[in-house]
Amino acid sequence: MEPTEVVQELWDRMQARNWVGLGELLADDLVVEWPVSAERIVGRDNYVRVNAEYPEGWSIRVLRIVADGGSVVSEVEVPHDAVGLHRVASFWTVRDGRVIDGREYWTCPGSDPAPAWRARWTQRAGS
């Protein structure tokens, strides 16, 4: 698979709750960083479990995937019945058909207050 296909398949398998299949796309020594919450997930099994154990009620909608060789960026929307809408910008490295590392920035649209000093140059964006 091409790197963009690997990342699309990662999200597809996550949406399908295909945890075994998700693991097949990941390197054993995968490292994924979540800078917003200051967490690092080390190892394929830990990454799969973190996602498998997340409270149900969510779905995944891939907004875009772009790549430059083995460097792949995905933007994904994750609505959740109980906690609302999340967005994630993920930066993946894919080598030999497997994700070897990632950095994901999870946020809730509109959760970061807009400073008043910028108001005259900006417009309120939708989520």
Chain segment 64-119, per-residue pLDDT in tens: 999 999 999 999 999 999 989 999 999 999 999 999 999 999 999 888 888 999 99
pLDDT at residue 22, rounded to an integer:
98
Give the three-state DSSP class for 89.
strand
pTM of the predicted protein model: 0.91
- Output DSSP code: residue 70: T
Q: Are 107 and 98 in contact (CB under 8 A)?
A: no
Chain segment 26-57, per-residue pLDDT in tens: 999 999 999 999 999 999 999 999 999 999 99
Q: Any alpha helices (H) in the chain, and if so which ranges?
A: 3-15, 19-24, 44-52
